[in-house]
Structure 1
């Protein structure tokens, strides 16, 4: 019997994979070896005369309806939860039985490229009904339907894996919440190889993506610069740049499209000092704006990794208990969708407001 997740009745702490466990030969109650030796006998010794059986009692113990018990720590979680709210261990276990079964069926037919095709010589589909190449699997799917696909919310990373600042992967997953498989794999790569991955969401949304992931200081700083740059470019575009382009196009109606840029630059050089500086600084601001988008794509994952680890460390140090820390991680974790939509509205206003204000 696997005792991981059960509690030692003496110290009331959960058993882990590396614990030295002693089992009572009479009733099967597990203890930490140290606890058993200190107590000197089985914790349930007084129940032996009643025929107490630990395994039977545990199997008959009721888990509240609509709940699931974590195999690692014993925490009761709501049904449908992907990973334990306490330790982050995946709560689902869906084996791919069809894959192994197909392999076994073919072992006795190594000379037959189509596997076990009894009484159907030369038929690549064997005994499958209606000649279905995927056999009798549910829904006609090749590997037993969608139930054969196992979803791991931790992305294959063990919940006990330690990241930066003593933060464990299971704790960080509670803070991340959305898209944990991707981030657990990326964070583990940063921790193991000191290499990150390019974040395309960071490229597309820049500082807004950092704010969406609740990195308010860095995200706010970058977003403020981006908004300032975009605002100045929009002003310069509608007040000077667009007028210069219109003059060039209207003056040279039959020019080649490839001549627009040199003619535009020639016209800009003839502007007075004030308008000339507006054009130059407008393009500098636009360059900074897109450069920040690119930078965010490169740094988003690593910054989020450091942010999550620091948050976990801070919350754990300020919490009075493990339960309080878990609740705080759940509260402060996730994403800020409302702020993301607000930034989209702001960018739309910056983009289209000059059309009405500068007529």
Structure 2
């Protein structure tokens, strides 16, 4: 039933309110103040009765239906919001254009409604797009085989690999590689970059080790001045920092290339799905044993190097501390 509040009285033209005693013509539906209708004595549209005439409110008095998605006013008979496209009576909202979404997030006072923007993103934005893209083949390999190879942390890697493939990026920050360097690659069974980065790290440590030999007056000390060794150690320290940053930026890209190559080889060698999955799990995943083995080897090398130090260990301890 139509609500006549806000419509004009058909006799006096004044706006009808909630407190008014309103009567309606049974033939055409025109509203009146009861007192106005009694004074008039009949409907002002009586001459049109019987011709199919039906009273309709003026456009300015038609009730508005506020969109639950963006709050924009719409005619009560509207089926879709004229501002954002929301379908009235449905739980699903038609995805508004990006420009409209940004405009909806603007507040009347000129500020920015971050809550609305966050809700719009949750409703159909970044997270859903990321989840959908993670199911797409990466480097021509199905996501389920990637997941089998990568292990428990596959969702995060698939999301990063998918974004790297989508935008053609080679860099994606990896804090594990940034902090632990070669140990990250050993943990992820990426043997080639693991040994390469380990060899680079040891090479960059060589000037400092030679400096320790000179300071300890070892018989194995090279015939190089202390100032030269100090300069080389400083250069090596800068280079070591640069290698650490590069490792953190490109570790995922290197891991992705090596993993993709290994998965393709396994696909070619094991066409049977069940056997292929078993091999993917065995050759993929992570290896704590490799990490422990490398750390143990480094401790042993440190112990062996300490045997080469000379008698002046106080100078060495002073440098270390």
TM-score normalized with structure 2 length:
0.48
- TM-score, normalised to structure 1, is 0.44
